[in-house]
Structure 1
Amino acid sequence: MEKYYSSRQVSERTGLSIHTLRYYEQIGLIDGIARDDNGYRQYSESDIVWFQVLNYFRTIGMSIREMQEYASFNNSEEVPTLTARREFIESYRRKVVEQMAELERSLDRIDEKIGFFKNLENSNKRQPDN
């Protein structure tokens, strides 16, 4: 018999708030959540693992829309799931690399501006006060 966990227990194990657990269910990131006789959610071990995957995606900056796209591979029969997931993660990696390059360009521009202000400060220090 499979063991089930309450929302509070899942929240404690995953670090996600109870509100987030419910929100993920509401937007379709997780489905098939069992209910007990009183209507309380009962999460399985596989639900917990999936929440941990979603939490990992949050930590790497993945948007909800991207998580939903990834989750859709569970229902896809067109492409083997492993291949689709690998290709998705490769695509996400390219996006992150592009973001890093843009951040590097921004940092270079910021450094240029800092240099500009330092030069102005140095020229003001060299001019005698009248």
Structure 2
Amino acid sequence: MTAEVLHIGEVARRTGLSVHTLRLYEREGLLAGEVLRDEAGRRVYSAWDVEWLGNCVKFRASGMPLAVIGRLARLVREGTGNEAERLEVLREHRRHVAERIAQLQDCLDLVDGKVAAYERHLAADGVGEPW
């Protein structure tokens, strides 16, 4: 059984990344594996590459800088023996994400309070100041 081979357009569709972004990620060393080329010189990706890129999309959405993704990708490319360093990169990012979640929860609490105040205000036929 042969491994699935995907061209850049299909990878773009599967990951939601643009072709331009995929090329940028390759240039910047953000891929955990080498991008191979077919006989015609076109980039070919594996299912594993797509999985890694899916992780990158989530890392970016969670605020991970491209430089940190690049560091993590480099560590993965280097192979076994650096798992402790990978773990520390991920733990540090987890701390960042947890802090951001706490900030967003504080913002949500404020918005929820304002929504409740306006709902009470409107239920009371606009009596009193909701703010």
Q: TM range, normalised to the smaller chain?
A: 0.5 to 0.7
CA–CA separation in structure 2 for the residues paired with 1:25 and 1:59: 19
Q: Which runs of 5+ in 1 are unaligned?
A: 108-130
CA–CA separation in structure 1 for the residues paired with 2:51 and 2:103: 33
CA–CA separation in structure 2 for the residues paired with 1:55 and 1:5: 18
One-letter code aligned to 1:89: L
1:94 positional shift: 2.1
SS in structure 2 of the partner of residue 42 of structure 1 = strand
SS in structure 2 of the partner of residue 87 of structure 1 = helix
Count of residue correspondences? 106
User: 1:60 corresponds to which residue?
Assistant: 62
Map 1:37-76 → 2, pairs under 5 A:
37-74=39-76, 75=78
Alpha-carbon RMSD across the aligned residues, in angstroms, is 2.6
User: 1:3 corresponds to which residue?
Assistant: 4
User: 1:13 corresponds to which residue?
Assistant: 14
CA–CA separation in structure 2 for the residues paired with 1:100 and 1:50: 24
Q: Deviations over 1:36-80 (max 9, x none)?
A: 11111111111111111111111101110111121122115543x
Q: Which runs of 5+ in 2 are unaligned?
A: 108-131
1:102 positional shift: 7.3
One-letter code aligned to 1:71: A
User: Is 1:94 aligned with 2:87?
Assistant: no
CA–CA separation in structure 1 for the residues paired with 2:87 and 2:63: 17
CA–CA separation in structure 1 for the residues paired with 2:58 and 2:9: 19
- Pair member with larger Rg: 1
CA–CA separation in structure 1 for the residues paired with 2:66 and 2:10: 23
1:3 positional shift: 1.8
One-letter code aligned to 1:60: S
1:33 positional shift: 1.2
- Correspondence for 1:35 among 34, 37, 55: 37
TM-score (normalised: structure 2): 0.67
CA–CA separation in structure 2 for the residues paired with 1:27 and 1:54: 13
User: 2:119 corresponds to which residue?
Assistant: none
- Relative distance call for 1:78 and 1:98 in structure 2 (3 A) is same
